Amino acid sequence: MRTTARRRALRLPLCLLALAMWMGSATAGATQVIKLGTIAPEGSPWHDGLLELAQRWREISGGQVDLRIYPGGVSGDEPDMIRKMRIGQLHAAALTTVGLTTVVPDIEALAFPTVVRSNGELDQVIRRVGPVIEGQLAAKGFKVLNWSSAGWVRIFSREPVVTVADLQRQKLFVWGQDAAYMELLRKTGMNPIPLAITDLLPSLETGLVNAFAAPPAAALAFQWFALAKHMTDFRWQPMVGTTVISMKTWQTIPEPLRDELERAAHEGGARLLQKSRALEEEAIQVMQQHGLVVHEVPPAVASEWREVVREKGLPVFVGPRFSQETFAAVQAALAEYRNGHEPATAGGPTP
C-alpha cells in the first residue's frame, strides 16, 4: 500500500512537468496575430499590396505571424489608428504623412507642397532623409517597415480651378485638424473646411465642401471624383506614406524572423510604389472616360502657386513646425539630384 502511494506521489509531479513542457511547446508555436489598419478601401492597389505582404509573412514564418488587414478606415482615421497602436488595440498601420506628422512633424518636410516635383526627386529625398525620419519614429515607438507613395496630389473641384484666385473661391476640404496647415491656407486666402477623411464623400454630397486635394488614384478608388469632376493638372505634393508597426509588437516577433519579414516588407513597398505610379495616369484616363475634365496650368500660373507657398507657407512651417535641419537636408538632396537631371515641369509625365 505504501509503495503504491509513493509511486502515485512521484507520478503526479512527472505528469505536471510533462504538461508544462507540452504547454510551453504549444505556446512557442502559437500564431501571433498582428492587426494592421489602413484607410485604403478594400480592393484598391494599396489594400491588395497589404494582402500580398500578409501572405508573404505567413509563408516566411510558417504560419507563426498572421498579419490581419482592416481596410477602408474601419479602424478609424489615421490619428485614431495611431492612438489605438499606442494602447495596443492595433499593432500596425499603413499611414500617410497626414497621420505621421502628429508623431514626427519633420516627416512633412519630405513632401512639403511644391518643393519636390518629380518621382526621381522624391526617391532621392527618401534615400537621403528617410533614415533620419525612421530614427525619429523609432524613438517614438514605431518601426518603419517600408516607404511608399499614393501618387501626386492634385486639386479636384466642382468648378474649374487653375489659378490661386480660383481656389480661393472654393470650400476646400482639409484632412484633420492641423492648425498650422489651416493657418497657411487662410493666409493664402483659402476657405478650408477641416474634416476626417471618412467624411469627405458625404460632405461633397451635401455641399459642405466642393473641392479637395488628393492623388488621382485615391480620387478614383474612393469615388470622390464623381462629385468633383474638374482636376487641376498641377503636382501639388507627393502623398508619401509608410507602413509602421509598434516597436513593442515588433520586438515580440521571434528575432530570427525579423530580418526576413522586414525584407519582404521593403520589397512589397517597392513593388507597390512602382504600381501606384503606373496607375496614376491610368486613373486619370478612367476618370476622364467618366466625365472628368483636366485643366492644364500654364508655367506662369505654376510659378504663382510656388511663390505663394514660398512666401506664406515656409515661414509658418520651417522652424515652428518642422526643423530647419531636416528641411535643409531635403534641399540638399534635391540640389544633388537636380545637378544631374533636367528640372521637372508643373504637369505631365513625372520621371
CATH number at residue 158: 3.40.190.170
pLDDT at 2 over 60: no
| Type of residue at 104 | V
Indicate the range of 1-5, 163-167, 261-265 predicted with least confidence.
Answer: 1-5
Backbone angles phi, psi at 230, to 5 degrees: -120, 130
| 6 band by pLDDT with thresholds 50, 70 and 90 | very low
pTM (predicted TM-score): 0.83
Could you tell me if residue 166 is inside a domain?
Answer: yes
pLDDT in tens, 254-299: 999 999 999 999 999 999 888 888 889 999 999 999 999 999 999 9
Residue 316, burial from CB neighbour count under 10 angstroms (0-12, 13-18, 19+):
middle
pLDDT at 350 over 50: no
Could you tell me if residue 17 is inside a domain?
Answer: no
DSSP character string of 244-309: EEEHHHHTTS-HHHHHHHHHHHHHHHHHHHHHHHHHHHHHHHHHHHTT-EEEE--HHHHHHHHHHI
Q: State the CB neighbour count (10 A cutoff) for residue 134.
A: 18
DSSP character string of 137-156: HHHTTEEEEEEEEEEEEEEE
Are 197 and 175 in contact by the 8 Å Cβ rule? The answer is yes
Residues 71, 72, 78, 79, Cα dihedral to 10°: -100
Could you tell me if residue 25 is inside a domain?
Answer: no
| 20 band by pLDDT with thresholds 50, 70 and 90 | very low
Are 231 and 156 in contact by the 8 Å Cβ rule? The answer is yes
Q: How many domains does the chain have?
A: 1
| 50 band by pLDDT with thresholds 50, 70 and 90 | very high
Give pLDDT, residue 149.
87
What single-letter DSSP state applies at residue 19?
A: H
Indicate the range of 126-135, 136-145, 164-173, 310-319 predicted with least confidence.
Answer: 310-319
Give pLDDT, residue 343.
58
**184 vs 228, residue with greater confidence:** 228
State in Å, rounded, how far the first CA of the chain is from the last one: 89
Cell of 331: 534641399
Could you tell me if residue 23 is inside a domain?
Answer: no
pLDDT in tens, 77-103: 899 999 999 999 999 999 998 889 989
Are 110 and 330 in contact by the 8 Å Cβ rule? The answer is yes
| 15 band by pLDDT with thresholds 50, 70 and 90 | very low
Indicate the range of 134-148, 161-175, 250-264, 268-282 predicted with least confidence.
Answer: 268-282
Are 210 and 186 in contact by the 8 Å Cβ rule? The answer is no
Could you tell me if residue 343 is inside a domain?
Answer: no
In Å, the largest CA–CA distance within the chain is: 104
Backbone angles phi, psi at 244, to 5 degrees: -125, 155
Could you tell me if residue 115 is inside a domain?
Answer: yes
Q: Averaged over 153-174, what is the pLDDT?
A: 95
pLDDT at 346 over 80: no
Give pLDDT, residue 29.
55
Average pLDDT in the chain:
87
Could you tell me if residue 218 is inside a domain?
Answer: yes
Residue range of the domain that includes 190: 30-338
- How big is the chain by its Cα radius of gyration, in Å? 24
Closest to 110 in 3D by CA, of 91, 87, 82, 132: 132
pLDDT in tens, 217-261: 999 988 999 999 999 999 999 999 899 999 999 999 999 999 999
**200 vs 26, residue with greater confidence:** 200
| 187 band by pLDDT with thresholds 50, 70 and 90 | confident
Q: State the CB neighbour count (10 A cutoff) for residue 274.
A: 12
What single-letter DSSP state applies at residue 106?
A: G
Could you tell me if residue 181 is inside a domain?
Answer: yes
What single-letter DSSP state applies at residue 88?
A: T
